[in-house]
Amino acid sequence: MNKQELEQIILDSKKAQIEYAKSLVEHRSDLLYRFYELIIKNKEFLAELMTKEQGKPLNESFGEVVLDLVENYLLL
């Protein structure tokens, strides 16, 4: 990726955030719930990835995925 591509990604992200902020709360809630569903569906994969990247035991990675989900989604 070169500097121009990165600058375009940043610009596109800023535009997307502005549109997202204009959307109804129900739409944003639906998006968050879909994100939650994806995490649940892929929790084993995410834990395995954390283990490979960080070298921690699989059960610790799995616990972290679930704990992060609870802290960041359910406790919003």
- Categorize the per-residue pLDDT at 32 as very low, low, confident or very high, splitting at 50, 70 and 90: confident
Provide CB contacts within 8 A for 40, sequence distance 6+. Answer: 69
Whether the per-residue pLDDT at 73 is higher than 90: the answer is no
Whether the per-residue pLDDT at 2 is higher than 60: the answer is yes
Give the single-character DSSP code of 76: -
Give the single-character DSSP code of 42: T
pLDDT (0 to 100) of residue 12? 97
DSSP 27-56: HHHHHHHHHHHHHHHTHHHHHHHHHHHH--
In a domain, 7, yes or no: no
Q: What is the mean pLDDT of the chain?
A: 89
In a domain, 2, yes or no: no
In a domain, 15, yes or no: no
What average pLDDT does this structure show over 23-46? 90
pLDDT tens digits for range 8-30: 999 999 999 999 999 999 999 89
By residue range, what is the domain housing residue 63?
A: 24-76
